[in-house]
């Protein structure tokens, strides 16, 4: 659904008067309001591409920049490289004369707004790695001109926009808030979830000064359904971290509950469903084999690192991290016990892992616990294969090199496996076939709950 001509302003819509704005700011505001501003998106991945669609739907011309030439070639040829966006998304962009994909950083100088949607991973010691933010800021600074607004969307620690990006941009000799402008608006993508496209998820917007916030708000309120103004970039940066830490802590809580309740022979999934009947004071979170994705396993450590800089510790966050990172080992333990019940040692057992994406119905394996679990299974001597309908090969990971290709999910494959280990519950999988043809299923996602009892021929272990 297009959001054209449907701006939804949060109050206050502006905290700087037009008279207080420079002529440069007023000129940029006029371009934003008339939708003649050219928008450049830096980073054409899981965050940048959905934002391109939202911006194009709202009527702005867009330049898409990425250092990966393969993505540029795919976009020029209408070839899909992100599953959940669909073929139509890529064919539409290919035919769109107002969208220009490029790997030439000089093209960023043509834009009026430059939006950075780049990864913010962790280093080897759980320290923030701002390499992509710094390098993309340098690329933007190389062609920075008067009248440009730069916005960071990547999740990061408080102060990144002001303390890390601004000095690089200031080095061009222009005054921020007067000649160029800088703001932060965190991405809130939810890949693979219907009804949660970039246009429909509210945005937070905070600049390093009031004028920058005004301009960023004017832009985002014309692109997304609603935008909420906050007083500073640091507020927006911190709010994004809180959103993801909230999820990480609650997932750790329910993972710990699962371990305890399993020892009591109590079904944690039914417990969560029962608690969910309360109409207030409870939000359902679900256990799993560990955390995955580009946000939840990583972002809490950005605040943990920053807290040490000011002499504080984040014990609650770090404890949640310990629980969540221990879950792959718990899955191995449960799988070993299940095999023992079948008088099978793990060493030499054929284990079919079902699903390597970090969540269902997407083709994104970033930080997926499946990689660590497969390595642990191999360390224990298991013969491992996997099936994932959305990932034909297991790509190289930040810490892991699995080097496997997906096998067909056939009755013969299932029957030949000593254990089927469900790690990702993709909807397109035939779970009834698993119930009929597998010998043993260890289910970390409650996926087999959808199989009628009369079709369950296997032994099922919930983990």
Contacts with 282 (C-beta within 8 Å, 6 or more apart), sequence order: 275, 276
Tokens at 340, concatenated: 């023992």
Check if 117 is active-site: no
Residues 421 and 444: beta-carbon distance below 8 Å: yes
Distance in angstroms (rounded) separating the CA atoms of residues 196 and 207: 25
How many C-beta atoms surround the C-beta of residue 378 within 10 A?
Answer: 13
What φ, ψ does residue 48 adopt, rounded to 5°? -65, -45
Distance in angstroms (rounded) separating the CA atoms of residues 284 and 66: 37
How many C-beta atoms surround the C-beta of residue 381 within 10 A?
Answer: 11
Contacts with 166 (C-beta within 8 Å, 6 or more apart), sequence order: 176, 182, 208
Specify burial of residue 101 (Cβ count, 10 A radius: 0-12, 13-18, 19+): buried
User: 151: closest CA among 137, 138, 132, 163?
Assistant: 137
| Residue 124 vs residues 301, 323, 365, 398, 399: alpha-carbon distances, Å | 12, 19, 19, 10, 9
Specify burial of residue 159 (Cβ count, 10 A radius: 0-12, 13-18, 19+): middle
Q: What is the DSSP letter of 173?
A: S
Name the active-site residue from 117, 295, 419, 458: 295
Tokens at 157, concatenated: 């620690």
Q: What is the DSSP letter of 405?
A: B
Residue holding tokens 């608006």? 185
How many C-beta atoms surround the C-beta of residue 202 within 10 A?
Answer: 13
- Whether residue 461 is preceded by a cis peptide bond, meaning omega within 30 degrees of 0, is no
Specify whether the backbone of 156 is left (phi greater than 0), alpha (psi in -120 to 50) or beta.
Answer: beta
Catalytic machinery residues:
295
């Amino acid at each position: 659904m297009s959001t054209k001509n449907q701006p939804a302003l949060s109050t206050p819509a502006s905290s700087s008067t037009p008279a207080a704005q420079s002529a440069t700011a007023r000129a940029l505001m006029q371009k934003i309001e008339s939708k003649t501003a050219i928008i450049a998106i830096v980073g054409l991945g899981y965050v940048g591409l959905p934002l391109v669609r939202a911006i194009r739907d709202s009527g702005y011309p867009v330049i898409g920049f990425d250092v990966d030439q393969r993505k540029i070639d795919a976009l020029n040829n209408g070839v899909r490289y992100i599953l959940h966006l669909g073929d139509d998304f890529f064919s539409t962009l290919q035919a769109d004369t107002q969208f220009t994909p490029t790997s030439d950083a000089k093209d960023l100088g043509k834009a009026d707004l430059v939006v950075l949607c780049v990864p913010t991973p962790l280093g080897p010691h759980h320290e923030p790695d701002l390499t992509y933010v710094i390098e993309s800021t340098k690329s933007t600074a190389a062609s920075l001109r008067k009248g440009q607004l730069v916005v960071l969307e990547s999740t990061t620690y408080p102060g990144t926009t002001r303390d890390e990006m601004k000095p690089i941009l200031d080095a061009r000799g222009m005054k921020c808030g007067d000649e160029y402008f800088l703001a932060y608006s965190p991405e809130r993508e939810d890949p693979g979830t219907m009804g949660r496209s970039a246009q429909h998820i509210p945005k937070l917007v905070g600049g390093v000064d009031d004028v920058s916030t005004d301009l960023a708000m004017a832009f985002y309120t014309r692109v997304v359904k609603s935008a909420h103004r906050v007083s500073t970039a640091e507020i927006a940066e911190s709010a994004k971290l809180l959103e993801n830490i909230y999820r990480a802590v609650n997932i750790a809580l329910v993972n710990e509950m699962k371990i305890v309740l399993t020892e009591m022979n109590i079904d944690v999934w039914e417990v969560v469903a029962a608690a969910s009947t309360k109409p207030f004071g409870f939000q359902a979170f679900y256990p799993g084999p560990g955390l995955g994705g580009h946000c939840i396993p990583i972002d809490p450590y950005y605040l943990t690192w920053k807290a040490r800089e000011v002499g504080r510790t984040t014990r609650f966050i770090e404890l949640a991290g310990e629980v969540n990172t221990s879950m792959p080992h718990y899955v191995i333990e449960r799988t070993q016990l299940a095999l023992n019940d079948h008088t099978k040692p793990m060493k030499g057992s054929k284990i079919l892992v079902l699903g390597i994406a970090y969540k269902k119905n997407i083709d994104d394996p970033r930080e997926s616990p499946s990689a660590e679990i497969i390595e642990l299974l191999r360390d224990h001597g298991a013969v491992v294969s996997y099936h994932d309908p959305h990932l034909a090969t297991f790509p190289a990971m930040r810490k892991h090199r699995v080097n496997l290709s997906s096998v067909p999910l056939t009755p013969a494959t299932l029957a030949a496996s000593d254990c089927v280990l469900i790690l990702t519950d993709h909807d397109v999988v035939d779970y009834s076939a698993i119930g009929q043809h597998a010998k043993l299923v260890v289910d970390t996602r409650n996926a087999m709950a959808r199989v009628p009892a009369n079709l369950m021929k296997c032994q099922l272990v919930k983990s």
